[in-house]
Amino acid sequence: MTSRLDPQPLEWLDRNETYRFTFEGQAYTGFRGDSVTSALLACGQTLLGRSFKYHRPRGALTLANHDVNALMQSADATNIRADVTPLQAGLDLRACNVNGTLVNDRDRFIERLSAFLPVGFYYKTFHKPKRFFPFWERKIREKAGLGSIDTRWTARRQAKSYGFCDLLVIGAGASGMQAALTAADAGLDVVLVDENPRIGGSLDYQLANDADAAPVRERLKTGVEGHANIRVLPSHYAAGWYTDHYVPLSGPTGIIKMRAGAVISATGVMEQPSVFRFNDLPGVMMASGAQRLIARHAIRPGKRAVVLSANGEGYRAALDLLQAGIDVAAVVDLEQGAERGHWASQLAAARIPVIEGHAIYEAQGKGRLERVIVAPFDGHRCNPATAREIPCDLLLMSVGWAPASQLLYQAGARLAYDDTLQQLLPQQLPAGIFACGRLNGAFSLEQRLADGQRAAKDACAHLRGESLQPDLAACRDTRAHSHPWPIIEHPRGKNFIDFDEDLQLKDLVNAAKEGFDNIELIKRFSTIGMGPSQGKHSNMNGIRVLASVIGRSIDETGSTTARPMFHPVPVSDLAGRRFRPERLSALHDRHLGLGAQMMEAGAWLRPEYYGMPDQREPSILREVQAVRTALGLIDVSTLGKIEVMGPDAAKLLDGSYTMRMSTIRTGMTRYALMVDDSGVIVDDGIVGRVAEDRFYVTATTSHSEATYRTLSRHIVEWGLDVRLVNRTGVLAAMNLAGPHARQLLAPLTDIDLAEDAFPYLGMREGQLCGIPVRLIRVGFVGELGYEIHLPVDAAATLWDRLMSAGAEFGIRPFGVEAQRVLRLEKGHIIVGQDTDGLTNPFEAAMAWAVPLKSKPYFVGRPSLALLKARCSRKLIGFRLPKGYSGERPKECHLIIENGEMAGRITSIAYSPSLGQLIGLAMVDLPLAEASLSLSVCVDSGDLIQIEPCALPFYDAEGKRQTADLTEVA
Amino acid sequence: MKLFDCPVIGKRPISEFDYCGEVRRPPLDADETAWADFVFNRNGAPQVLREWWYHRPTGRWYIMERDTLKDEVQRFIDPQEVRYDIPA
């Protein structure tokens, strides 16, 4: 281990646990607590990846989840961010963006073409001639994109959890910890979140060796971790801000959806690179990146260093290098005679040469840094005439900061450029959003602590409901920590602004000169900030360049709002668990016991048929035949069941349904058809009258909630005196249908079942097997049938009694599929299958259900009055010849007339009762009424002839459901 | 997810509510053009609107006056203010 330092006081390593792993086929070891990058650096592997466009060698840069040129690939994951991914035993990694091997990348040649690949090259070159574009697109796609996906994926689900707090503090650095403590002491329930595995923020790397910081670190960390009102969440990052302070916290075990009363953003600043020729060579890194390597992972990032600085922090970094035993050749300060504080004095005492008023003109080296060219700098450009050369293998850049303001922008904050600090700072924050620390321009430790207290007090006042005028500038620094122009032109370029996309200074200048003078336009044309780091180290310099070229201020140039997520979040975490609640009927266990195949129906599971999957067709046929010739029992508990009570109950139902309900006699039911304002069918069911002021309404399985909602709205809208009770869940229902239905029920009930006493469409209440029930004579399946509504608790008992008592009649349970065949034989429609989102009752051949003459009003009546004369299509019945054995038409197959679409099949099934295929089709008029034969285009493309016919197909007079079936059967 | 600040039941996640549009009165005596306008067109301009909100867990309707530009609920409306008679 060539680059590992002796134990550092705050290091994350557990040196007792050694992990073996491989990278690019070679074996390495590291410690628990290493990141992949730090473990590789410890072993002397400084080449970590290749850049996206030119496949240039790249190394470590920030160690802050911005090192997007060190992306790695394992067998089952891609774009692994080596700088922050914790090392695990047995990892087998290779570099992502490599053609061949990392060392011998076959795409290195692309760099030599860079002169011919100006910004916008792809947009300008490949769109003409158009017919070649698919070819070029394939070629470009092969080169573009990062990583490869294992297509033999398995579904992985990561459960989400939900959190609540008064105050969410994002960032556990000095100001964030102070803010959390102050707010928690004031009694708030605080959550403190930080993306790093340990709290402390820059206190633990930038100020790791600073004596003044030690007692503050101790006080804050013990205070925060021991406080009853603070929940600390390390290894979680706030991925985005959503309305009303809803913040997803992404961590190793998935997402916590945190609902906060207020949010303090103490997210700090992101160090920005200096732009000079070959500023991307491995060995050139952010000062803070090197400090992270030293303090967290005990890595010596180089042997002989040069520090480029435009602030006090650079001098602090140079001191840290010295302490780590690294030779510091020089500090190069961009400014002449600037006040750099006590760290600069300490460095002077160590006799380290400081070269003021100079910049790095160029970095040099073959594959990694070997020397830098230092030249005088006047704040705008370098004079290379008097340049000097300094050999070094490490160059730290400490030239400025950009606020980690992504979440503030998402929340609608306004930031403005501050000429004192040379940094974008929050100017106006939305209600409940607060900011403190370096993000807010507080740079010294004292300022950061004071700013954390201020933000916490503001947040407390906000949560108490007090109106406040926060003084955001109260604790801000009075001197700059960023240089306004750390950007050095070079005639031969390769001075990179965006390491994600290999954008050079000239690319942005050219884009601006081509007229892309708006930050949003230049972003899309040049792709600056569109790579994996989302501009975290490129946007600030990009804005500086654009502002300079177009001659406007930073504020006038504007900045872009980074969308969520702040860092990439695995799709499995976003998806969470499959969360689709399923409702089960009280008879669910009975269905399973009888071998039912279950299907989804709205929110419910219902038996599709009873039998083995390979016996689907014969099972359905047997069930149909049982209903037609003996007895069938179907669970219809999923129907909506609503009690409607009150003096205005009849008025409500008259207004809500097409047909008149106020004229139903007590103890009788009527078909109920509901349409919307435009006259489109939305639901059907039955309405039964229990008493003068009391009705019982059923609705279809999937529309029952909406029907309840509609009825309850009409009560408010029309000012009616009605009460509704939705009993869908507390009542079970089953339909006993078949010629023997009455014979079976008669001995079990106290209700008089005689045809005169309880006619078709009648409704009676009484006892059945000692259970209180409501019986309704229904005809949906076209046989003598009794729908039995009863309390769910008793449903299984009654089901068992009916099944055992019905055995002598050959009773069978039947499922949804058999019911579909049975109702189709009767020509009854299913709303949503035979109708669609535009079907009105005239089209559905239900003009009989629209009493325009006798009813002055119901919802949808004005539309239907207009539509009656404009009916343009109609639902008709059709059949295929008996014994037809050709290709079978399916639902949604199109009716074709003269080569044009003229309709579609909505239902089709084999009718065992008729011995042929029958169906319903929605067909354009006048074809629907005039034609003797229609053509259907089936899957193979053939046209099959179907024969329109009258409805219903079976028992046209309805004798079987209305008469005493002992005779007809 | 947004919270909906209902003046009656307090702040609830907006996913508990169905938004059912502006409170409007069907122009029953209107001509065909006016009726079609009522059926098919909605006013989307930012303004203060009276809106129907349905709270599914409780099955209750609320009529709110909401500034659709600022997305702020201003007032809870007594249903008596919006009721109308339908022809019997």
Residue closest to B13 by CA, chosen among A875, A939, A900, A164: A164
Nearest by Cα to B76 from B6, B25, B14: B6
Do A240 and A293 fall within a single domain? no
Q: Quick one: pLDDT band at residue A137, thresholds 50, 70, 90?
A: confident
CB contact under 8 A, A857 and B80: no
Query: How many angstroms separate the CA of residue B83 from the nearest CA in chain A?
Result: 5
Query: What is the extent of the structural domain holding A293?
Result: 273-399
Q: Is A710 on the interface with B (CB under 8 A)?
A: no
CB contact under 8 A, A677 and B87: no
Mean pLDDT of A263-272: 98
Q: Which of A656, A657, A716, A861 to mutate to test the interface with B (most CBs of B within 10 A)?
A: A716
| Rounded distance between C-alpha atoms, residue A648 and residue A675, angstroms | 21
* Mean pLDDT estimate for chain A: 94
Boundary-marking domain end, from A548, A566, A584:
A566
Helix and strand counts by DSSP (H, E) for chain A? 26, 47
Q: Do B82 and A862 touch (CB under 8 A)?
A: no
Q: Report which of A303, A355, A420 is spatially closest to residue A3, judged by C-alpha positions.
A: A303
In this complex, is the C-beta atom of A469 within 8 Å of any C-beta atom belonging to chain B?
no
Beta-carbon separation of A718 and B84 below 8 A: yes
In this structure, are residues A165 and A258 in contact, taking their beta carbons and an 8 Å threshold? Answer: yes
**CATH number for the domain including A646?**
3.30.70.1400
CB of A270 within 8 A of CB of A66?
A: yes
Judge if A664 and A646 occupy the same domain. yes
Are A328 and A321 in contact by the 8 Å Cβ rule? The answer is yes
Q: Which of B56, B61, B85 sits opposite A713 (nearest CB)?
A: B61
Token output for A566:
């702040």
Instruction: Please report where in the chains the tokens 């906000």 appear, as a residue.
Output: A462
Q: Evaluate whether residue B87 is within a structural domain.
A: no
Across the interface, whether the CB atoms of B83 and A719 are under 8 A apart is answered: yes
Task: Give SS3 for A519.
Answer: helix
Domain identity same for A454 and A431: yes
* DSSP notation for A855-918: -S--TTHHHHHHHGGG--EEEEEEE--TT--SPPP-TTPEEEETTEEEEEEEEEEEETTTTEEE
Interface of A with B in 654-693 (CB under 8 A): 654-655, 677-678
Provide the β-strand partners of residue A945: A935
B10 touches chain A (CB under 8 A): no
Contact A649, A694 (CB under 8 A): yes
- Do the Cβ atoms of A856 and B88 come within 8 Å? yes
Q: Hey, is the C-beta of B20 within 8 angstroms of any chain A C-beta?
A: yes
How many CB atoms within 10 Å of residue A691? 10
For residue A262, list its beta bridge partners: A167
Distance CA B28, CA A239 (A): 51
pLDDT for residue A563:
87
What is d(CA A789, CA A861) in angstroms, rounded to the nearest whole number? Answer: 32
The 10s digit of each residue's pLDDT in A24-40 is 999 999 999 999 999 99
Chain A residues in contact with B85 (beta carbon < 8 A): 718-719
**Chain B contacts in chain A segment 251-280 (CB below 8 A):** 257, 259
One domain, residues A226 and A189: yes
Chains A, B: CB contacts under 8 A, how many?
Answer: 66
Q: Does B70 touch chain A (CB under 8 A)?
A: no
Task: Identify the residue among A651, A654, A717, A728 best suited for mutation to test binding to B, counting B beta carbons within 10 A and taking the highest.
Answer: A717
Residue B40 contacts A where some CB pair is shorter than 8 Å? yes
DSSP letter, residue A311: S
Nearest CA distance, B48 vs chain A (angstrom)? 20
- Tell me the three state secondary structure of residue A847: helix
Domain span at residue B52 reads 3-81
Q: Could you tell me if A959 lies within 8 Å of chain B, comparing CB atoms?
A: no
Among A49-53, A573-577, A780-784, A934-938, the range scoring the smallest mean pLDDT is A573-577
**Inter-chain CB proximity B86 and A718 less than 8 Å:** yes
Grade residue A963 by pLDDT with cuts at 50, 70 and 90.
low
Identity at A305, one-letter amino acid code: A
Name A116's Cβ contacts closer than 8 Å, sequence gap at least 6: none
A708 touching B, CB under 8 A?
yes
Rg (CA), chain A: 38
Question: Rounded CA gap, A925 and A854, in Å?
Answer: 27
The CATH code of the domain that includes A421 is 3.50.50.60
Least confident range of A146-150, A408-412, A904-908, B23-27: A146-150
Taking the alpha carbons at both ends of chain A, their separation in whole angstroms is 93
Co-location of A394 and A459 in the same domain: no
Beta strands in A252-350 (DSSP E): 254-265, 269-271, 284-286, 304-309, 327-333
Q: Give the ranges where A193-246 is alpha helix by DSSP (H).
A: 213-226
Distance from CA of A114 to the nearest CA of B (A): 46
| Contact in structure between B20 and B53 (CB atoms under 8 Å) | yes
Answer yes or no: is B28 within a domain. Answer: yes
Q: pLDDT class for A965, splitting at 50, 70, 90?
A: very low
Q: Does A581 touch chain B (CB under 8 A)?
A: no
Does B31 reside within a domain?
yes
Tell me the pLDDT tens digit for each residue of A711-769: 999 999 999 999 999 999 999 999 999 999 999 999 999 999 999 999 999 999 999 99
Overall number of domains in chain A: 6
Residue A921's pLDDT is 97
Distance from CA of B86 to the nearest CA of A (A): 7
Structure token digits, residue A349: 């005492």
Q: Is residue B29 part of a domain?
A: yes
Give A969's pLDDT tier (boundaries 50, 70, 90): very low
CB of B78 within 8 Å of a chain A CB? The answer is no
Cβ contact A242–B1 (<8 Å): yes
Dihedral angle computed from the Cα positions of residues A450, A454, A459 and A460, in that order, rounded to the nearest 10 degrees: 100
Residue A966 lies in a domain: no
Q: pLDDT at residue A339 above 70?
A: yes
pLDDT for B5-60, tens place per residue?
A: 887 888 899 999 999 999 999 998 899 999 999 999 998 899 999 999 999 998 99
DSSP assignment, residue A98? -
Residue B86 lies in a domain: no
Whether A246 and B2 lie within 8 Å, measured CB to CB: yes
Q: Check: CB of residue A557 under 8 Å from CB of residue A546.
A: yes
Dist. CA A811–CA A738, nearest whole Å: 9
User: Does the pLDDT value for residue A966 go beyond 50?
Assistant: no
Could you identify the residue written with the tokens 């792993």? A21
Residue A732 lies in a domain: no
Per DSSP, the three-state class of A424 is strand
| Mean pLDDT in residue range A198-209 | 97
Cβ-Cβ contacts under 8 Å, B15 against chain A? none
Contact at CB, A719 and B80, closer than 8 angstroms? yes
CATH of the domain at A500: 1.10.10.1100
- A364 and A259: one domain? no
Residue A286 in domain? yes
Q: How far apart are CA A684 and CA A823, in angstroms?
A: 14
Q: Which residues of B touch A654 (CB under 8 A)?
A: 88
* Mean pLDDT across A655-677: 96
Chain A residues with CB-CB distance to B33 below 8 A: none
- Chain B: nearest CA to A256, how far in angstroms? 13
Q: Is position A608 within any domain?
A: no
- CA of A638: how far to CAs of A27, A518, A707, in Å? 61, 58, 14
Phi, psi of A178, rounded to the nearest 5 degrees = -65, -40
How far is Cα A451 from Cα A446, in angstroms, rounded to an integer?
8
DSSP assignment of B24-79 equals ----TT--HHHHHHHHH----SSSEEEEEEEETTTTEEEEEEEETTTTEEEEEPPG
DSSP A384: G
Residues 6+ apart with CB under 8 A from A307: A287, A314, A315, A317, A318, A321, A328, A330, A331, A332, A395, A396, A398
In a domain, A53, yes or no: yes
Decide if A895 is inside a domain: yes
Same domain membership, residue A266 and residue A406: yes
Total count of residues recorded for chain B? 88
Domain endpoint, select from A521, A538, A566: A566
Those residues whose C-beta lies under 8 Å from the C-beta of residue A183, and which sit 6 or more positions away, are A166, A167, A169, A190, A264, A456, A459, A460
Nearest to A726 among B38, B59, B79 (CB): B59
What CA–CA distance (Å, rounded) separates A394 from A317? 12
Q: CA angle A847-A851-A853, nearest 5°?
A: 120
> What tokens appear for A919 in the block?
């169906």
Q: Which residues in chain A are contacts of B38 at CB distance < 8 A?
A: 677
Q: How confident is the model at residue A964 (pLDDT cuts 50, 70, 90)?
A: low
Tell me the CATH number at B14: 3.30.2270.10
Query: What is the C-alpha to C-alpha distance for residues A208 and A214, in angstroms, rounded to an integer?
Result: 8
- Is B52 within 8 Å of chain A by CB? yes
Residue A722 resides in a domain? yes
Closest-CA residue of B relative to A257 is: B1
Residues A389 and A408 in one domain: no
Percent of chain A with pLDDT over 90: 85
Residue B50 lies in a domain: yes
Can you read off the two tokens belonging to residue B58?
A: 């409780």
Residues paired with residue A196 on neighbouring β-strands, in sequence order? none
CATH number of the domain encompassing residue A871 = 3.30.1360.120
- The Cα B38–Cα A841 span in angstroms is 21
Domain count, chain B: 1
Q: Which of A655, A709, A716 sits opposite B79 (nearest CB)?
A: A716
Q: Which residues contact A703 (CB under 8 A, 6 or more apart)?
A: A602, A640, A682, A683, A831, A832
Whose tokens are 């989302």? That residue is A534
**Buried-exposed string A94-110: b where 16+ CB fall within 10 A, e elsewhere:** ebbbbeeebeebeebeb
Q: Does any CB of chain A come closer than 8 Å to the CB of residue B73?
A: no
Best residue in B38, B76, B86 for a mutation probing chain A (most A CBs within 10 Å): B86
Cα-Cα end-to-end distance for chain B: 43
Q: Name the residue facing B2 among A243, A716, A724 (closest C-beta).
A: A243
For residue A246, give the nearest of B1, B61, B84 by CB distance: B1
The CATH number assigned to the domain holding A38 equals: 3.10.20.440
Query: Which residue is it, tokens 């099959």?
Result: A944
Clarify whether residues A394 and A455 are in a common domain: no
- Tens digits of residue pLDDT in A670-712: 999 999 999 999 999 999 999 999 999 999 999 999 999 999 9
In a domain, B88, yes or no: no
Provide the shortest C-alpha distance from residue A717 to chain B (in Å). 5
Tokens matching residue A687: 């309405």
Q: Name the residue of chain A whose CA is nearest to B52's CA.
A: A713
> Is A579 in CB contact (< 8 Å) with chain B?
no
Q: Which of A692, A727, A762 is the last residue of a domain?
A: A727
Residue A444: pLDDT band (50, 70, 90) is: very high
Burial class (CB in 10 A: 0-12, 13-18, 19+), A783: buried
Coil/strand/helix, residue A113: helix
Cβ neighbors of B26 (< 8 A, separation 6 or more) are: A677, A862, B38
Partner B contacted by A389 (CB < 8 A): no
pLDDT at A293 over 90: yes
| A584 vs A453: CA distance, rounded Å | 54
Among A662, A709, A852, the strongest candidate for a mutation testing the B interface, having the largest count of B CBs within 10 A, is A709
pLDDT greater than 70 at residue A968: no
What is d(CA A532, CA A905) in angstroms, rounded to the nearest whole number? 49
| A242 and A330 within one domain | no
Question: Which residue is associated with the tokens 């603070």?
Answer: A230
Of A677, A726, A856, the CB nearest to B87: A856
